[in-house]
Chains A and B, each alone.
Chain A
Amino acid sequence: MAQMALEGAAVTRRRWRDDHPILWLAVSRTLFGLLTLLAVSVIVFAATTVLPGNAAKAILGQTATPARVRALELQLNLDHSVWYQYWAWLTGVLRGNFGISYAARIPAWQVVGPRLANSAVLVALAGVIGTVIGVGLGALAAVRRGGRADDTLAVVSLGVTSLPEFVVGIALVIVFATTFWHVLPAVSLVPPGSTAWENPSVLVLPGVTLVIVIVPYILRMTRAATIEALESDYFENARLKGLSPRRLLLVHALPNAIPPVVQVIGLNLLYLAGGIVVVETLFAFPGIGQGLVNAVDDRDVPVIQLTVLLLAAFYVFVNILSDVVSLLASPRRRLPRS
């Protein structure tokens, strides 16, 4: 009797995790994610202190005489030890205060916020459009595999992938902004106080550049995963039952292709968040990548920490989300392990 009760209890304990595998995944990953953010903030802070020079010297540049550097250091509280500076920053963050930018002398959030909004719009736009096009073309290539459409897509996507993104960007600028036509802005001049989506024309060329960069990956992964689904037994079974091609593709093949495709989409979103720097530089797009590069140059620690924290949080979130979505789309993996 006691034996059975013990076993029962053990089974019950295990069963919550297995009853709610998705919830468990999300919660545990989020907790680990928070730990990751903390570790990242420590590492990045340490890295900026190791760099030669400090914010005071970086800001004053050539005019940095010892007297002026000291005066600025006092103003920026740089005369304390690095431990104290980090602790002050951390306790501030926990209270919601992200500090004052050393270079611009306004709250770090005011410096980063607008840039974050602009980059987020660009990433979301490029991500969604790229996904739709990539999945669509990938499915098409899978269905017509071996045919002319498939071969053309393979060659074109390989060629486009091998081009660096600034080449793609410059080509677009030449065609649409400066040399052939003058229909789109070459440089993303967004008046301060307004945002990128209030000036939608500045989103087009950078967005198209990013879409061109990520579509080939999504296309190829979708194609491979869809082909695997198309050549499986259950698909053959469905086809033999006489279902329409559209239903076959959308209901029986694609849903099984989702997990690997979602992983690739997640990876591409992460790439966009980081690789967006090159595109932002080329178009002078007022985004977070460019902002981070400037902040490192200025040794502007509050802005660096805030930006890195946001990017790391985005990475953690996208990772969790793509794993959750994969799990939701693969019921097989949700079953209790017996």
Chain B
Amino acid sequence: MDRQRHLVRGASARDRSRPADAGQGRGLGRREFLRYAAAGATVLGAGSALAACGGSSSSPGPGSSATAGKPKRGGTLTLGAQGGASNDNLDAHNPLTNADYPRIFALYSALVTLDTNAKVVNVLADEITSNKDATVWTVKIKSGVETHKGKTFGAKDVLYSLRRISNAKTPFPGAAVLTPLDLQNARVLNATTLQLPCKTPFSTFVDSLIDPFCLMVPEGYDPKSPDGTGPFMYKSFTPGVRSEFPRHPNYFENGKPYADDLIITDIPDEQSQVNALLGGQVNLINFLSSDSLAALQNGAVNVVISKTGGWNPITMRVDMAPFSDVRVRQAMKLIIDRPQMLDLVFGGHGRIGNDVFGYYDPLYDHSLPQRHQDIEQAKSLLKAAGHENLTVTLTTSAGIGQGIVKTAQVFAQQAKAAGVTVNVNAVTASTWFGQDYLKVPFGQDYWFYLPYLVNVPQVTIPGGAFNTPHYDNPAYTSLYKQALATTDESLKADLAHQMQKIDYNDGGLIIPYFPPVIDATAKNVHGVVQSPSFPISNYDWASIWID
């Protein structure tokens, strides 16, 4: 009897190992646990399902493909901007990322700018004149210009801006082009006129003002609460994400801007930019590579390809072997098959270069013979220099700009024919700017368009902030100083041509092409024209409209 009861009740030692009973009375048993887990999962699942069950956001369609008629008022411009990051900022004088440029061109105005033909035209300026030897400049600005916060913009604000840029302790990048100005002794003659004496003759002053680092801000400017005279005003901004700028109702150009609102969203990946445009989430995208053209040309969008004067050099330090020998530098310039490089990197868009910058400048010497690939000449130059079968390392980074690394790879391929081995070392952007930029003997760089004599002091004169070739040629520097000192345009042109001949034969910069700038817009966005420099009509936001 007892034995049977034991078997039935399971009180023997063997039964302690029966799984179903373990844990009973000692806290959470398996059954309880499974029950609670099932309940919890149902709640979670229902919750997430509900969250996902929202309606899709309303996205405007691409719009009808109306022909560009008269500009219409209204609408929102949305730019999916390339190149933004968490260090995006709105300081007028301190653009750091590529997404900062469209923003500062919207909030602030320059004294002068470049039109679609790369001619210098007035924006805030009315008239800028100098004395005979370019040692005193007089800047007269337009009257009745109002800032977003309602202040009147005058000559004193121009002086404030120039002083802020050139501040001696931590100068902003624009200071590099304003060095001859004697801002201590500048005088505000009246509400709209400013007199600027110069420490040394400064014939290129007007051209220097188009540099995007020289935008104008009112006195007492605070980047945290930005005030400016641009066509759109500050409403909200989250670095690395998005900004919203509504229309400035009292913009000094009557009737403009046409759009009511400008929203700039950072989209770091090019594929995502294209998808956002095709899906109707934005109506403008910028800085595309030629890889996206196929996808764009199939969609209901406008593609604008600008032949800008920007340039991407391969830089050689003339103070280090083997590039200290001019024959090696010339050989490198002769190795490149320029049309082939343009085809491979940019699908044939853009323009081939001739190792001289400043393409749109009237001072550019178009009579210099176009260099072609000449492998035999390159080989004999290298042999004469004692560098047959040269091996070099080209340090580069995708963070420098569009098409840069591809250019390096094409160059390495082409160099093989001349017996030159080029090892391409691509590093990240932070490594490049952290330790390599301006230091490596063989590297690359990226420039937007500047007039020739404004670019020179930054890149080919000792002390230039971006003198990647470490170029220091006293004859060249003296020619530059003479060009600065003369207001005689034909003499200036002659001096510039002499300098360009030196760049062509002796310089440390290989300029194989002038890259295209490729933008795309929805079909109902109008007013985006060819740009000489920056994307989206050189970011002329005031002149773009939607219908």
Q: How large is the interface on A (under 10, 10 to 19, 20 to 34, 35 or more residues)?
A: 35 or more
Q: Report the Cα distance A328→B434, complex, angstroms.
A: 52
Interface 9-mer from B16-24, B111-119, B151-159, B498-506: B16-24
Q: Report the Cα distance A61→B59, complex, angstroms.
A: 36
Residues of B close to A197: CB separation below 8 A: 51
Q: List 13 A-B contacts (CB under 8 A).
A: A53-B433, A57-B434, A59-B87, A59-B96, A101-B86, A170-B271, A187-B267, A193-B238, A197-B51, A255-B34, A281-B272, A282-B272, A331-B29
Answer yes or no: B69 CB below 8 A from chain A CBs.
Answer: no
Contact in complex: B30, A67 (CB < 8 Å): no
CB within 8 Å of B: which A290-322 residues: 290, 294-300, 303
Residues of A close to B267: CB separation below 8 A: 187, 284
Q: Report the Cα distance A201→B22, complex, angstroms.
A: 47
Residues of B close to A281: CB separation below 8 A: 268-269, 272
CB within 8 Å of A: which B389-430 residues: 428-430
Contact in complex: A201, B434 (CB < 8 Å): no
Contact in complex: B276, A187 (CB < 8 Å): yes
Contact in complex: A286, B85 (CB < 8 Å): no
Contact in complex: B59, A182 (CB < 8 Å): yes
Answer yes or no: B362 CB below 8 A from chain A CBs.
Answer: no
Contact in complex: B269, A328 (CB < 8 Å): no
Q: Identify which of B48, B241, B465 contacts A124 (C-beta below 8 A).
A: B48
Q: Identify which of A202, A203, A328 contacts B33 (C-beta below 8 A).
A: A328
Contact in complex: B433, A62 (CB < 8 Å): yes
How far, in Å, is B323 (CB) from chain A's closest CB?
A: 22
Q: Identify which of A104, A200, A298, A335 contacts B54 (C-beta below 8 A).
A: A200
Answer yes or no: B280 CB below 8 A from chain A CBs.
Answer: yes
Contact in complex: B85, A294 (CB < 8 Å): yes
Q: Report the Cα distance A179→B279, complex, angstroms.
A: 8
How far, in Å, is B364 (CB) from chain A's closest CB?
A: 24
Contact in complex: A192, B236 (CB < 8 Å): yes
Answer yes or no: B97 CB below 8 A from chain A CBs.
Answer: yes
Contact in complex: A65, B465 (CB < 8 Å): yes
CB within 8 Å of A: which B266-324 residues: 267-269, 271-273, 275-276, 278-282, 299
Residues of B close to A173: CB separation below 8 A: 275, 279
Q: Report the Cα distance A296→B85, complex, angstroms.
A: 11
* 0/1 interface trace, chain A 180-201, chain B, CB 8 Å (1 if under): 0011111101011100010111
Contact in complex: B17, A335 (CB < 8 Å): yes
Contact in complex: B429, A297 (CB < 8 Å): yes
Contact in complex: A121, B279 (CB < 8 Å): no
How far, in Å, is B79 (CB) from chain A's closest CB?
A: 12
Q: Beyond A61-B96, A200-B55: 20 further Cβ-contacts under 8 Å? A: A52-B430, A53-B434, A67-B171, A68-B171, A71-B170, A104-B86, A125-B51, A182-B279, A185-B279, A187-B279, A187-B281, A192-B238, A197-B51, A201-B56, A255-B34, A294-B268, A297-B430, A328-B30, A331-B19, A335-B17
How far, in Å, is A196 (CB) from chain B's closest CB?
A: 9
Q: Report the Cα distance A203→B276, complex, angstroms.
A: 15
Residues of A close to B57: CB separation below 8 A: 185, 199, 201-202
Answer yes or no: A58 CB below 8 A from chain B CBs.
Answer: yes
Q: Report the Cα distance A281→B268, complex, angstroms.
A: 8
A178-B299 CB under 8 A given contacts A197-B51, A334-B23:
yes
Closest A residue by C-beta to B271: A282
Residues of B close to A297: CB separation below 8 A: 85, 428-430
Q: Identify which of A20, A284, A300 contacts B269 (C-beta below 8 A).
A: A284
Answer yes or no: A64 CB below 8 A from chain B CBs.
Answer: yes
Contact in complex: B56, A185 (CB < 8 Å): yes
Contact in complex: A20, B86 (CB < 8 Å): no
Residues of B close to A295: CB separation below 8 A: 86
Answer yes or no: A51 CB below 8 A from chain B CBs.
Answer: yes
* 0/1 interface trace, chain B 39-64, chain A, CB 8 Å (1 if under): 00100110011011111110101000
Count B-side interface residues using an 8 Å CB cutoff.
Answer: 71
Closest A residue by C-beta to B275: A186
Contact in complex: A191, B242 (CB < 8 Å): yes
Q: Identify which of A53, A184, A207, A332 contacts B19 (C-beta below 8 A).
A: A332
Answer yes or no: A42 CB below 8 A from chain B CBs.
Answer: no
Q: Report the Cα distance A203→B48, complex, angstroms.
A: 11
CB within 8 Å of B: which A238-296 residues: 255, 281-284, 286, 290, 294-296
Q: Identify which of B16, B59, B86, B437 contacts A300 (C-beta below 8 A).
A: B86
A182-B85 CB under 8 A given contacts A132-B45, A170-B271, A255-B30:
no
A128-B45 CB under 8 A given contacts A111-B86, A173-B275:
yes
Answer yes or no: B220 CB below 8 A from chain A CBs.
Answer: no
CB within 8 Å of B: which A98-115 residues: 101, 103-104, 111
Q: Identify which of B48, B97, B276, B299 contacts A189 (C-beta below 8 A).
A: B276
Closest B residue by C-beta to A57: B434
Closest A residue by C-beta to B434: A53
A201-B55 CB under 8 A given contacts A53-B430, A128-B48:
yes
Contact in complex: B433, A57 (CB < 8 Å): yes
Contact in complex: A187, B87 (CB < 8 Å): no
Closest A residue by C-beta to B49: A129
Q: Report the Cα distance A170→B274, complex, angstroms.
A: 12
Contact in complex: B434, A60 (CB < 8 Å): no
Q: Report the Cα distance A163→B23, complex, angstroms.
A: 44
Answer yes or no: A177 CB below 8 A from chain B CBs.
Answer: yes
Q: Identify which of A53, A58, A187 contacts B275 (C-beta below 8 A).
A: A187
Contact in complex: A334, B431 (CB < 8 Å): no
Contact in complex: A64, B433 (CB < 8 Å): yes
Answer yes or no: A44 CB below 8 A from chain B CBs.
Answer: no
Contact in complex: A129, B56 (CB < 8 Å): no
Contact in complex: B279, A62 (CB < 8 Å): no
Contact in complex: A103, B85 (CB < 8 Å): yes
Residues of A close to B173: CB separation below 8 A: 63
Q: Identify which of B51, B55, B269, B433 contacts A58 (C-beta below 8 A).
A: B433
Closest B residue by C-beta to A65: B465
Answer yes or no: B195 CB below 8 A from chain A CBs.
Answer: no
Answer yes or no: B369 CB below 8 A from chain A CBs.
Answer: no
Contact in complex: B240, A294 (CB < 8 Å): yes
* 0/1 interface trace, chain B 201-240, chain A, CB 8 Å (1 if under): 0000000000000000000000000000000000010111
* 0/1 interface trace, chain B 249-275, chain A, CB 8 Å (1 if under): 000000000000000010111011101
* 0/1 interface trace, chain A 112-136, chain B, CB 8 Å (1 if under): 0000000001001100110010000
Residues of B close to A330: CB separation below 8 A: 30
Answer yes or no: A329 CB below 8 A from chain B CBs.
Answer: yes
Q: Report the Cα distance A335→B281, complex, angstroms.
A: 59
A299-B34 CB under 8 A given contacts A121-B51, A185-B57:
no
Which residue among A64, A300, A329 has the maximum number of chain B CB atoms within 10 Å of its CB?
A: A64
Closest B residue by C-beta to A197: B51
Contact in complex: B434, A331 (CB < 8 Å): no
Answer yes or no: B26 CB below 8 A from chain A CBs.
Answer: yes
A178-B30 CB under 8 A given contacts A65-B465, A192-B236:
no
Answer yes or no: A36 CB below 8 A from chain B CBs.
Answer: no
A329-B87 CB under 8 A given contacts A187-B276, A281-B268, A335-B17:
no
Residues of A close to B16: CB separation below 8 A: 335
Q: Report the Cα distance A259→B139, complex, angstroms.
A: 79
Closest A residue by C-beta to B174: A63
Contact in complex: B87, A103 (CB < 8 Å): yes
CB within 8 Å of B: which A203-225 residues: 203-204, 207
Q: Report the Cα distance A128→B52, complex, angstroms.
A: 12
Residues of A close to B37: CB separation below 8 A: 325
How far, in Å, is A126 (CB) from chain B's closest CB?
A: 9
How far, in Å, is B91 (CB) from chain A's closest CB?
A: 11
How far, in Å, is A209 (CB) from chain B's closest CB?
A: 13
